[in-house]
Structure 1
Amino acid sequence: MARGDFFMVAVRRLRAAYQELRDATNLVPPGGQYVVWNDMDTVDGENCRIIRLADIPGSLSGDVLRLKRNLPPLDAEGDYIIVGNGVYYLPNPPPFPRFDNDSEDVSAALASLPVIAVDVFEHFTKKCKYASEIQNLLACQGGSCPGVPKSAHVVQLLGKSPDGELVFEQFAPRHVLAAVHPLAKYKEWILQLINGLRTLHSLEIVHRDLRIDNLVFSHDGSRLLICDLESRWGNRLAPEIPRRPVPGAGWTEKSDIYDLGMTIKGMIYGNTPITNLIEWNVPAPLDAVVAACLRVAPEDRPSLDEIYDMVKNI
């Protein structure tokens, strides 16, 4: 069996193992209820209960977060805190997180953009919440619109719709990743992802929210592009980023590199994990690349050029 075939077999085995855990858990629907943990951004519904889980590896609470054990039987109407192997009522649960709409007045930034007659078969549109997104997109295409893209792997802003939404070329969403692909295809995409991220960093743009949901693909799957350049809110996966949503929370190029490692994991699994503590192993030879990106200390993480060489030499 060729090496690439071994890789695809390994990916299918890992995906199947994760799906088995996912199907068995009562942590979230369909087998359970929504659980709020500290770094969760949104809450669906108003009648949720709060179950706080302490990350203590090898204990009940740590194992639940890792999908190794289910939540124990609990009063459906009660709020709880589970610390280690102890299960306690939470008499005064904290309020649900509030995420106020902090959208800006982007009319001045939109004013410089040409109006595009939108074709739903050719274009994708989105509402702009922050002027930083327009500024970042324009920087990536020479300062003008449509301009000349500095990277083929960052989405190009074409203009604005008549009702003031941003207009882009229509691409395929990340569902392309649902299929298992040969190692050579993942290698190609990862190199393209690094190229796009290198362009952002060369322009002093930290993405902050690099994940598979913010990747799009050409319809033939040959080209990957980074999208959603708001650089406002984002992942808080890197250890140095505060878990609470705080504006300007210390995102850097090194936190983008940590997120790159997590994004490669998501590409392999074609999914995003229920919790960030799930043990998502990546097959060789990409395991070494991911491990380098996920080093705890930011200064220990390789540069994008070093990561590029690691992937190129596979």
Structure 2
Amino acid sequence: MKSKPSLAVLLIHDQRAGHLNPSLGVYDNLETAYSTTLYKIVTPTLKKWQISLLKKISWYPRLFDLFAALFFKNFILNHDINCIICSGMPNLIYGIFVSRNLKVPLFYAGDLRKVNSKLVRCTITALPQNTQSDQVVLTTPPVKKEFFNMQHDQLDQTTALLVLGGATDEHPFTYTDFEKIISNFILFCRNNQLKGLITNSRRTPNLSAFLNKTDIPKNIQLHFIHTEKALSLIQLIQQATYIFVTEDSTSMLAETIQSGRFVSSIYGPKSILEPLNEKYLQAQLMQRQMLEDIFQYPNVRNTQDLNSSSPITQAFKRNLGY
């Protein structure tokens, strides 16, 4: 059997899960075509005005190089690398600086948001964007292999999972909204004789006051982050057949959809249907339920177009030449 070509990848991140995980998702998808080696570096802390300035002057590359060198000081890497992967705006800014210093191509998972696309070799997103760089448009944003490897699991239809995010401009959930969501999920599990699992994210408000006064049935398990013996999202998805996710979380929606489960997003009365979620609905990758309504079984899923490995590896081969 022909051996895979070697690929040394530098992953740039700021330790935020929402930025790190898409980059790891891109990296995991490369394993089918390359013998990969991963190196990680952490982005130096940037103030908002510094990010804003570097975005604007990215259209003047020499000026960008000058200011980036002042902000980031000296950069030394003791490894030979073939490419850079990153996600999230602070990491993109630092990634451009490192890419131009090392003269290696930069692959970015995300929207460029007015950054000069000529400084990025390829973007990887779930929606097309106006860019002069190469671009890959996937069915969902990239997720780690632990999620997409679950697509062929046998689903026993005994367990439902509720994944709570937090308020955003597009989804201004209130504390009362989260109370209603949890109550409706408990009712759904009771009426359908299902085991229920509930987890949250770092953006979820502290729900202790509500939970302490609520009678949590024995068929419901709470796995809130930073609590003792709480299972990870991957472990919870492995148990579940039906998953409800608040619509604010792009990453958790992508991860649950990629797992091949039956997924429904939950939205509020003031929520805005964003283009990516509209795409999911049209492709029958998920359903959508109002938080105030009685929860219904999610009954659609579509695993046919979830393959991210082929388009990602093709893009790397196209841009690296091997």
Give the TM-score normalised by the residue count of structure 2: 0.28
- Quick check: which one's strand share is greater? 2
TM-score (norm 1): 0.29
